A = this chain, B = another copy of it.
Amino acid sequence: MNIQELIKPLIQKNSTKIIMVVLDGVGGLPDASGKTELEAAHTPNLDSLAGKSACGLHVPVAYGITPGSGPGHLGIFGYDPIECQIGRGILEALGLGLGVRKSDVAVRCNYSTFVNGIITDRRAGRIPTGKSKELTEKLQKELSSIDEAELIFAPGMEHRFAVLIRFPEPLEADAAMISDTDPQKEGKAPLYPSALAKNSESVSRIAEKLINKAHDILKNETKANYILTRGFSSMPHIPNFDEAFGLNALAIATYPMYRGLAKLVGMDTPALEGSVEDEIRFLKQKYNDHDFFFMHVKKVDSYGEDGNFKGKAARIEEFDKLLPQILELKPDVLVITGDHSTPSIMKGHSWHPVPVLINSPYVLGKICDAFSERQFVKGELGIFPAVNIMPLALAHAGRLKKFGA
């Protein structure tokens, strides 16, 4: 049985506050020094909190599975990341800051070079981002709708951009089942955007027109004269966070992708810029208006992805210095975790279980004396699937009734 189905009849509301801090990619591995980034970082506040908290490691998706940001966040938000898969187009659109609706089909696009019916360069010579932005704005201006659908373009890096095909009404689950047109190899003709389901025929028709009209608009470009489309997808049909957990949630995140993921599950996602300190300032401002706060700290992951071990440790230390400001709010439950591991020595996401700390009065504590992977292996939460974090947070907040008599 699905965990959300199990807990739904048990949910009771109260006035407790739950803060979930996501240190993106926080889990790591030892470098030549033998220490992980968390062990190398000087983190007196996190270490002290670990001693008073329930600690463990969560498995984002499954043993050995390296999650992308989408599944990584869905899991810690309490959604089974295998059941609730987010289409590539949707993730791309969220990452580029588009607000996606239930009536949208999102598509990842590439500018490409088309000569005599053949794609000669799938990436249009990786045109500069500025040029790409200019072309995308042109497409937006000259191609704001096709048939009943509105089109919303968002420029990306180099040859990449995304488009939303917005219909007047919410879509059926299979409306976006359209095949990719990218032939995957140079020297081949682009493919046709075929409808793979009865319900996707109108999207297929509009996609074909989109590709042809875009070619018409771009035909005088020497490189970027054609678009290739991939990852047609619509919003996953998943329950709203409020409906699933009885929580009025606020997302505090400075990167569009993470606000987008939070919005996908129905959190409030006001635009926000600035540092981690700015995020905490915003948390304080909004503390009376919500009962669940997802606060996203991006830079920990970014330095991990760059293979910058010291930089990642420094970002962890930066958060540690600010932690007392969060503790001053005295949340009933404080969860500190990551969406996945990003070991600097691997320069990318990994499958390794991710440290998770739950602070509340209802813990054993005094087991771990530092916030680290090796300490948390022996923690009272054990090693467990990420989707269990939300039920645990709710339980610690007194928001779950007893199951059975």
| Interface set of A (CB-CB < 8 Å, partner B) | 1, 3, 6-7, 10, 29-30, 34, 36, 57, 61-71, 81-83, 85-86, 88, 91-92, 343, 345-346, 348-353, 361-367, 373-374, 377-384, 388, 390-396, 400-405
| Most chain B beta carbons < 10 A, residue from A62, A65, A83, A405 | A405
Contact of A30 among B36, B57, B88, B364 (CB under 8 A): B364
Assembly CA distance A350 to B395 (angstroms): 9
Partner of A400, one of B64, B82, B390: B64
Complex Cα distance, B402 from A70, in Å, reads 11
Give the docked Cα–Cα distance between A367 and B367 (Å).
15
| Contact between A405 and B68, CB atoms less than 8 A apart | yes
B391 lies within 8 A of A380 (CB):
no
Is the beta-carbon distance between B383 and A373 smaller than 8 angstroms?
no
Given the interface contacts A3-B62, A64-B7, does A29 sit within 8 Å of B403 by beta carbon?
A: no
Q: Which residues of B contact A363 (CB under 8 A)?
A: 29
Contact B350 A362 (CB under 8 A): yes
Q: Which residues of B contact A405 (CB under 8 A)?
A: 68-70, 86, 88, 91-92
Known A-B contacts A30-B365, A363-B29; the reply to A402 vs B349 at CB < 8 A is yes
A70 contact set on B, CB distance < 8 A: 404-405
**In the complex, which residue of chain B has the Cβ closest to the Cβ of A231?**
B405
Q: Which partner residue on chain B sits nearest A391 by CB separation?
A: B64
Q: Is the CB of A6 within 8 A of B82?
A: yes
Q: Are A66 and B400 neighbours in the complex by a CB distance under 8 Å?
A: yes
CB of B404 within 8 A of CB of A85, answer: yes
Q: In the bound complex, what is the Cα–Cα distance between A34 and B400 (angstroms)?
A: 26
Chain B residues with CB under 8 Å of A36's CB are 364
28 residue pairs bridging A and B, Cβ less than 8 Å apart: A1-B82, A7-B64, A29-B363, A30-B365, A61-B403, A63-B391, A64-B391, A64-B393, A64-B394, A64-B396, A66-B401, A67-B402, A67-B404, A68-B403, A70-B405, A81-B404, A86-B404, A88-B405, A346-B362, A351-B395, A352-B364, A353-B380, A353-B382, A367-B377, A373-B380, A377-B378, A378-B378, A381-B383
Cα(A71)–Cα(B378), bound, Å: 28
Least distance between A273 CB and chain B CB atoms (Å): 23
Q: Is the CB of B402 within 8 A of A66?
A: yes
Cβ 8 A contact of A362, one of B343, B383, B388, B396 = B343
Instruction: Give, as a whole number of angstroms, the nearest-CB distance from A341 to chain B.
Output: 10
In the complex where A364-B36, A382-B383, A395-B351 touch, is A65 in contact with B10 (Cβ < 8 A)?
A: yes
Alpha-carbon distance between A353 and B382 when the two chains are bound, in angstroms: 10
| Extra contacts besides A86-B405, A91-B405, A92-B405 (10): CB < 8 Å | A1-B82, A6-B61, A6-B62, A36-B364, A65-B400, A81-B403, A345-B362, A353-B380, A367-B377, A374-B380
User: Which residue on chain B has the smallest CB distance to residue A343?
Assistant: B362
